[in-house]
Amino acid sequence: MPSPRPVPALPSAVWRGDSLDTGVRPGQPSGFAALDALLPGGGWPLGGLTEILQPQAGALEWRLLGPALRCAGKSEAPLLLIHPPGAPHLPGLRGEGLGPLVWIDAATPQQQLWATEQAVQSSGAAAVLAWLPQARPEQMRRLQVHALGAQMPVFVFRSVAAREQSSAAPLRLMLRAASSPCSIWQLEVQLFKRRGPAHSGWLSLSAVPATLDPLLTPRLRDIAPRPARLPRTTPHVVDRVTAGH
């Protein structure tokens, strides 16, 4: 019988699903070395959606994306904000070192989706941030098609309930405040979809707002919730008054 043919080695350009895809475009550094090590391309994707799920919109996303947005904002291109959960606090965002901002307050889900599509297809933005709580799977697929040619990072924010839905975004992650008794400046991230194996567990990131970073001493950085002390007990004297006196 003829001897079996040797199995040819896979070319280096072939991506194995059990490892990170290293053939993607280099990404926008996130500002967190531990996170970049887990992201295909070594940073936030260019040419694809990043979907961020969180319990409540409007707070943690700025701490997570702040370092990358500060870097992207060094150019004269604006950051496009589509349907944020509240009016952006411009002095605070400028204090974080963010560049020029364009706030698009689209009223209906259809307008929000249309505005996001136009922003993704534009070539004059440093980054696109869109809060789309009602986006459907087919709409996310359409956005991903548009984002394939994007030269900037595109972030879509949705609620944690969207995890049960399918999504065409190549990178999906959960974001929450630290749940364990650790520093109040910690964020926790779980990468449950990426071009590679799912990330098990949560990655803890130290995310101090830029405006506070130079003001915090090492002791303040290590602040953690501590159990409350019980008040010291002291003997009490009970004065009994007898009837008629």
pLDDT at 204: 92
Residue 176 located in a structural domain:
no
Q: What angle do CA 20, 23, 16 make, to 5 degrees?
A: 45
Span 173-193, mean pLDDT?
A: 83
Pairing of strands 186-193, 154-159: unpaired
Q: Which of 39-48, 55-64, 170-179, 225-234 has the lowest mean pLDDT?
A: 225-234
Residue 135 lies in domain: 33-171
Residue 81 located in a structural domain:
yes
Cα distance between residue 222 and residue 185, in whole Å: 9
What is the total count of domains within the chain?
Answer: 1
Residue 22 located in a structural domain:
no
Residue 98 located in a structural domain:
yes
Convert the pLDDT of each residue in 37-62 to its tens digit: 999 999 999 999 999 999 999 879 99
Across 143-169, b (16+ Cβ under 10 Å) vs e yields bbebbeebebbbbbbbeeebeeeebbb
Residue 89 located in a structural domain:
yes
130, with CB counted inside 10 A (0-12, 13-18, 19+), is buried
CATH number at residue 45: 3.40.50.300
Q: For residue 119, what is the DSSP state?
A: H
